[in-house]
Amino acid sequence: MKLLLCSLFFASMALSQEVKPSTGANSSVESLLDVRRLYVGDLVGGLQASALRELIIASLNSTKLFILTDNEARADAVLKGAADDKEFTDTFDTYEAQTGRDSLGKTGSALTTKLGSMTGASSMGETESHHNKEHKHEAYATVRLCNKDGDVLWSTTQESLGAKFRGASADVAAKIAHQISLDYERARKTEEPDVTPASAPTAPKK
């Protein structure tokens, strides 16, 4: 009995002194600059949300700021949010007014006697209306970057009706990548130490 109790005592001591496994680098991700490996989660939205997610992944990968991964467990942070690309028809009416005016006048007179006069005038107006329809795309995405604890490190909302050389969804993805690049560079400059050399001491005046 004593031998069993001693065995249990030493076993419990060994378990209490066992080093707990480290949670890894993910627990130290507290800012955008700490993110090295990024996972883009499924976006909430309509049928185009999945396609917009793929465009966002490609745009973020082009910035070379992060390692994009399909393994969420290995990621330092997760990009999540909502997105959609909707098609709609924009209708509007235009009006054009056209006016014309004709006038006719004729007068005659003798040396001292006014024989008569005749004047005439006519005017007309016409208005034309045009009913126009334009097929458009409108894309949007509102996303946030969160660490493993669920803390929001960065967020943005972007929308587009399309750009000159790309569609609405591709333009939204490009805007997200551009915004995170700007904010990353701004954060990096903020955390850089001031290395401005101190001015040399001036010699005392004689």
Q: Determine whether 195 is exposed, middle or buried from the number of CB atoms within 10 Å of its CB (0-12, 13-18, 19+).
A: exposed
Whether the predicted pLDDT of 140 surpasses 90: yes
Is 49 contained in some domain? yes
Calculate what percentage of the chain has a pLDDT beyond 70. 57
Q: Report the alpha-carbon distance of residue 49 to residue 46 in Å, rounded.
A: 6
Is 123 contained in some domain? no
How many structural domains is the chain composed of? 1
Tell me, what CATH number does 53's domain have?
3.30.160.150
Per-residue pLDDT tens for 90-128? Answer: 665 666 655 555 444 444 444 344 444 444 444 455 666
Is 200 contained in some domain? no
Q: Report the alpha-carbon distance of residue 144 to residue 24 in Å, rounded.
A: 22
Is 42 contained in some domain? yes
Contact predicate 59/40, CB 8 Å? no
Is 205 contained in some domain? no
Containing 169, the helix (H) or strand (E) segment is helix 168-191
Token couple for 58: 């490609």
Q: Which domain holds residue 64?
A: 27-92+131-191
Is 197 contained in some domain? no
Beta strands in the chain (DSSP E): 37-44, 67-68, 77-108, 116-147, 152-160
